[in-house]
Structure formats: C-alpha cells, structure tokens
Chain A
C-alpha cells in the first residue's frame, strides 16, 4: 500500500518517480481513455476501408451516378475522405490519423456539398451535449432520490411500486416513449404546443443570453428531455436502491447512529455519499446509452443535434459525415467518462492512493 511512501526517504531515483507516475490514478485514467480513443479511431478506419460493403466503392458508384467518370469519381472520393486510395494501407492509415489529429474529418458530399464535416458537427454537437447532459443529470438526481426512498422503505408498498415501475420503463424502447409523449402531451391533452416538439429553437430566435432565448430553449428541450430522463431513470433508481440497501448494512452507519448524528447528516454524508459511488461508474455507461438514443429521439423531435445529422447522413449515405459523427461522438463520450472517473477518484479517497483497478 502506501508503505513505500512512508518508509522514509531512501533513494528517490528516476525509476522511483516513473513508477509513481505510472501508478497514479489520474495518469492511469487518462492514459486508459486515450488508448480507447485510439482504438476507436483505428476501428473506424477499418470500417470505412476494409469492411465487405466497402463505403469507398459505394461512394464511387454514387459519384459516377452523378455523371463523373470512373477515374474522376475515384479521385473525388479520395479527396472527400482525405485518403490517397492508391497508397498502401499502412500509408493510408498514417495519413488518416494525421488528418484526424489536425481536426480534418473530410468533406460532406451529399448533405451539404463540399462543406467540411468538422464544421457540420461543430454546429450540431452542442445541442446534443446540452440535451443529453442536462437530462442525464436530472435523471441521475431523481433516480438517486427515489432509490434512497425505496431502500429506506424496503418492502413497503412504495418500494414495490417504485421498483416494478422502474423495471418496466427501463424495458420500453425510447422510440415508443417519445411517440407516446407526443401523442399524450401534444395531441390528446394539448399541454405542449406541437411546434415546441419540432426543432431545437423557434424560428427567429438567436442564441445568446437573452430571456427569450432561454425560455424558448427550455420549451423545445422539455419533451425530448423528458424522454431521455424517462428512459434512463429506471436504471438509476434500481442501482441506487440496491447500493443503498447494502450501505445501510455497513457498520459505519450503525456507529454513526450510535454517535447520535442527526438523520439528515447520516442519510447524506454517510449513506448517500457511499451508496452513490458505484453509480458514478454507471454514469459512463448511461452516457453512451443516451447519446446512442439521440439518433432516434432527435429524429422524432427534429432536434438539431448530432443524432439527427447522423440520421440524415445515413438516409443519404453520406459516408464522410457518418464517419466523422461516429468518431466525434464516441470520443466525446469517452472523454466525458474520463471526467466521471476523475470525479469518482475525487469522491473516494481510497482510489487515489492505490492504482485502483477492481
């Protein structure tokens, strides 16, 4: 454990410091995530270049359909993807990686002709990050609250109702949730005007720190946000419940009661804080899940995010855009999970010292 550090100051050689750095939790977390990012970039390259239904071939075909000759189409596809298609695969891979590191994701060729993919994505990504991020936070907080409630009132009617409800909503596809909400809120009950379920802003509203913008932003966010919350809430609630139940059995909770601490302090700092630790790890999984769902939810609500863009790119088979979105979202999600891991390390002092691991 920490014995090495306390045994006094023998010789602190370079290898000592190297080992210190290599076993540091923060360093390891970041290194692991960067490795995953690299794997994803490589994977994407091989999907585009090496999979049976080779996208490059499909691109060339569709460019030829628009009247180019075979050579012209080939050269055009190469320039759009920023790959020298005649070079050996190794060289292609190197070029591809270099371009990515420079933020060059190629150009769109159907959706927005000759527009850089990076620009397209930069316009859309903030919307997805905003809607998914906010919803996840809301769902996390409500789920923790309900889970704690169910755990404290274990086996009561409320507990059974909450757990069964959570398990049920977890299994209902988010597409169906979205459609049901549109039907109920917009068509049957007419609570939310339908134009707030289309797009991410009303026409004419300019982004900025104005009340009009914020109000409009919220109104357009409300229903799609509710769908994200609804489709992730059950998981949080069930995890928090089981985590709280096992924390309540810990000795330090009994001791805290024996110490005469107020209930509120015990629930928050003793039970809640420890019980929520395993959920922080779940945040990473949930983020990936919610972002994946954005392609469906943004399509239903015509929300101007990355999911909608991907759906449009898929409909038109715009491969550079598809590749770019896949890369950027995956990398964003992985980096966000690095944040969750760092948060975890900050919340749990036991992780910081040792290398962590399982």
Chain B
C-alpha cells in the first residue's frame, strides 16, 4: 500500500553514493516473522556521514548487515533496492572515470566479495572478537589485501603503517601482534584501520564504541572525527547514543520498530526535532546545561517485532497518540523545513506540546 518515497540529499551536488529504497527485511522465527526493517529509504551522499539512531532492537544493525549482504540465513530481503554508485576511476582494470551504478541486491559470488570491503567496509560492534585469534594482525591485513588483489609485502606494510598512524597506533607493536595481545580499544582501532585499507567509498560503523570504556570511547571518537577530515569517504554511523551521533554526523535518521521515523540534518534533529520519539530520545540525553531532573526516559519498551501494534508503531508509548495514530501508520513525509522528513500525524504540534526546550541542542 505504501510505495517507497524518494528521500534525497540535496546538500551535496553529486548523486548519492548509496540509495536505499523501500528496503524490507524479515527473519523467520518459530513464533512468526520478525519484521526487523520495514520499507526503509534513504540516501547517503558522497563524503557524507549519516547517523542511524534508535534503541536496541529497532533494526539498525539488521539494516547495516543488509547493506553489505551479510544477513544470517534466517533473514530474507522481502523487497527494496540498494543502489551503490562508484565514483571516478575504478581501481581495477577499466580505468573509466565515469560513475558506475551497482545493484547491490543482484551481486553474486565474486562480484559480491569484491563489493564487500573494497567498496563498502563495515566495522562491527563486537570488535573484541572481530579478529581471528590464531593469525597475526599482519596476516589478517594480508588476507584482506590478497582477496582484493591489493598491495602485498613491503608495500602493504607501509600502507598499514600509514593507517596505524592515522588511528594513532604504534605500528611496530601492532603489526606483528596477535589479537589477544592488544587491548579492546586497540583492536577497535586496528579494525578501523583495516576498514580503510582498501580505500572504500563507504564505511559502516555499527556501535563502534559500545563495548569500550568511556576514555577509550572518547579516543575512538577523536580518531573518527580526525579521519573524516583527512580522508574522503561516506559514513553510516549506527548508534543508540545521540551525543556520539551529533559529533560525527551530517544527517541523522531516527529508527523505530524497523522504520525510519525522522530524517534531517544534525542541527535540525537537535534544535527542532518534530517526531515525539526523537524528542523523547533527546530528552533522555543528559547535557551540561540541563538539570538532572529534566533528564527523562521514554516510558514503555520497544515493541515486539513479531507482533507489531496497529497504526503508528510508537503510539502505545506516545503521549500525543490519538485515534488516527492507533489505526493508520504514517509514512515519512516532508516537514516544514527543507530536507526534514518525519513520519508522524501530529508532528506540527509535537514540539510545542512536548515542551521541547532548546536544551538538547547543545552539543
């Protein structure tokens, strides 16, 4: 019934690096189908950083895995389209400077393997266990390079040293090390360096700091901000932490129950959010200027993705819910400002009625 809407970025002049159109992913479970991602559409511009935020169980990791086609066998992509655009001279062979388009969902075998990591690398949440424990870091870099016909030997080591410097690692110590000899923060930075090895156009970071302590987390965020300035790549940053998203992202997409509910540039998201859920999330973030008492959490818990509520999936937790919200699900539609999209029937009155103080905007 709902046809995918085209949500495009006009911030950047060129065509987007990745267009996701109406992506729908379900898992087969004993009780029924888990609707993890429902009709999600968005673009990621060239060199742009998009943050996808939401509570755990909102389908954001599934979305990330779907983009690199790494879903477990119980998951199926029901519908949708993933268009990836390769800019400039292609590294292997062709030498065409024209932009080429890749339909990611049609990729198979060798082509799919080449797409992974070379075009789109993904840094996972559980980086502590992301490396094969029995191979040295150098071997795992070598494996990746060999799989993509990239540099070998001395040249590879030089390139790795350069990347280790970028992520602020002591390359002498790391290069010959086994994963267990490195701390969690170091391993995460090694994985980021490995992600950048083949100069991918798109990097997906799935909760890259969640498992780390607060100081290490800070460190990684600094490294990432630094990398964004020095290198040219698009970024999808998946997180439940709004403040981290604010630091890194150009635009923010809020995800709830497998669906995008609000999409805007980072400033608007914090300054003028209009979806009650986004407003609630921002209120839940403690800030320096807000009083402790003002920090509130959203009542209730995320819905069961197998047995979703009717109408707007947020209505059981929404203070503004009315009859229409209970019956009809809103689709993502333009809000007042340009490039601001929201899926809510009451968005116009939401910010006023939820006494959305400007406090959340400090970042």
Contact = CB atoms under 8 A, between A and B. Distances in A.
Interface of A: 2, 250-252, 254-262, 265, 269-270, 273-274, 277, 347-350, 353
Contacts of B135: 269
7 contacts: A252-B133, A259-B116, A260-B113, A260-B144, A261-B143, A274-B132, A350-B178
B76 interface: no
Nearest to A258: B122
Contacts of B134: 273-274, 277, 347-349
B132 A259 contact: no
Contacts of A353: 180-181
A2 B144 contact: no
Interface string B102-114: 0000000000011
A256 B148 CA distance: 13
The CB with the most chain B CB atoms within 10 A, among A256, A259, A261, is that of A259
Interface string B186-230: 000001001000000000000000000000000000000000000
B60 interface: no
A283 to B, nearest CB: 17
A2 B181 contact: yes
Interface in B118-160: 118, 121-122, 124, 126, 129-135, 143-144, 147-148
Given A259-B144, A259-B147, A269 B132 contact: yes
Nearest to B125: A251
B129 A260 contact: no
A61 B126 CA distance: 72
A252 B115 contact: no
Contacts of A270: 132
Interface of B: 68, 70, 113-118, 121-122, 124, 126, 129-135, 143-144, 147-148, 178, 180-181, 191, 194
Given A260-B144, A349-B178, A252 B132 contact: yes
Chain A, interface SS category = helix
Contacts of B117: 258-260
Given A252-B130, A274-B132, A350 B113 contact: no
Given A251-B126, A265-B147, 20 more contacts: A251-B124, A252-B131, A254-B70, A255-B124, A256-B143, A257-B70, A258-B116, A258-B117, A258-B122, A258-B124, A259-B121, A259-B144, A260-B118, A260-B147, A261-B143, A269-B132, A270-B132, A273-B132, A277-B134, A349-B133
Contact of B143 (A2, A258, A259, A349): A259
Nearest to A347: B134
A260 B148 contact: yes
A327 to B, nearest CB: 37
Contacts of B70: 254, 257-258
A269 B121 contact: no
A348 to B, nearest CB: 6
B233 to A, nearest CB: 16
Given A254-B70, A265-B147, A353-B181, A260 B133 contact: no
Contacts of A260: 113-118, 144, 147-148
A174 B273 CA distance: 74
Contacts of A277: 134
A25 to B, nearest CB: 14
Contacts of A262: 113, 147
Contacts of B194: 259
A252 B122 CA distance: 12
Given A260-B116, A348-B134, A269 B143 contact: yes
Contacts of B129: 250-252
Nearest to B141: A259
In this complex, which of B121, B122, B126, B143 has the most chain A Cβ atoms within 10 angstroms of its Cβ? Answer: B143
Contacts of B191: 255
Contacts of B115: 260
Contacts of A349: 133-134, 178, 180
A262 B135 CA distance: 16
B180 A350 contact: yes
A265 B180 contact: no
Nearest to A256: B132
Given A252-B129, A254-B124, A269-B132, A261 B144 contact: yes
Contacts of B144: 259-261
A275 to B, nearest CB: 11
